[in-house]
Amino acid sequence: MPGADWKSVPGVKPGVITGDAAWALMAHAKANGYAIPAFNCTTSSSCNAVLEAAAKADRPIMIQFSEGGSAFYAGKSLPNKKYEASILGAVSGAHHVRQVAASYGVTVFVHSDHCAKKLLPWFDGMLAADREYFDKHGEPLFSSHMLDLSEEPDEENIAICAKYFKEMAPMKLILEMEIGITGGVEDGVDNSDVARDKLYSQPEDTYKVWEALSPISPMFTIAAAFGNVHGVYKAGNVKLQPELLGNFQKYLAEKLGKPADAKPFFFVFHGGSGSEKKDIEAALANGVVKMNVDTDTQWAYWKGILDFYKSNEDKLQGQMGNSKGPDEPNKSYYDPRKWLREAEVSMVGRVKEACVDLKNVN
């Protein structure tokens, strides 16, 4: 099966991986035709569900935090005008994962998701935490970060990415950047009305990224647009063209004088929820090493609570009194540990399904 020997990759171990080991594992994924699913988390509970699923699948996994999700992690009542709560939440989430991941026996990347230009103070705060951790431990706090400057002109997008990448490279942080636009709505960025032709990158676009970033470090991935849309949609309603990624690979391979099947790019698949299996398989074949999953796991988490409520509705109408009698206590049903656990179990199942979809299986 794809990637069955992933534990032999140098530096791979239980816990958070960074630097050379993290990049080598991504290279292993690309070479062996699988990808690492990345799950947006907003609480320690959702982080634990991802880790539990990874432990049961015995596969590497990625936990990522968006700016809004990070603010929620820290607490919605905290001030966030300067993104201080978002910085605190992302850093807290990263430390939580570092504290518990090894106990699960899981190899995990910790990543920050979608940082638009207006959110750069959040990015700066996370980099400051990376530097502080690096000075103490010889590695950054996070494994990787994403800059999503796809709303800006390509030249500005790439220039800002290069500026930050120069700061990240000495710590061997992986940079994920986006060229082209992913449709739909994600963490407050609304691209639902973007013209359809903007949802497809061109070979020249990705080559410009390579020219700017590869002299700094090889450790970067590209979320190139091939019709991707964030959010929920019926399978087949979004016209993905993962074969475009293959065209981008061939274009760069020719520029570099490499064989046509060299696949020098490391690609990321955004808007993966609702995708048809054939499109996922085609994306893997064309160099996708990471796919984001959020909408589907949100639903799975909620469905665990919904099903629990439906099964125990009579016991969830008051502290006392149910179908067994008016004096029967209901504490064991409304205890958050009971219904949140059902949410986690449901989410674990969806995380494992994503691993299968991405051939991230033993």
The residues annotated as belonging to the active site are 113
Q: Token pair for residue 163?
A: 């500026």
Contact 227, 239 (CB under 8 A): yes
φ and ψ at residue 144, rounded to 5 degrees: -160, 165
CB atoms under 10 Å from CB of 220, counted, come to 26
Question: CB neighbours (10 Å) of residue 188?
Answer: 12
Find out whether 313 and 56 touch, Cβ atoms under 8 Å.
no
Spatial neighbors of 112 by CB under 8 A, at least 6 apart, are 64, 65, 66, 70, 90, 123, 126, 142, 144, 145, 146
Start-to-end CA span in the chain (Å): 6
- Tokens found for residue 149: 């400057």
d(CA 11, CA 14): 10
**Distance, CA of 216 to CA of 163 (rounded, Å):** 10
Q: At what angle do helices 120-137 and 84-104 cross, to 10 degrees?
A: 40
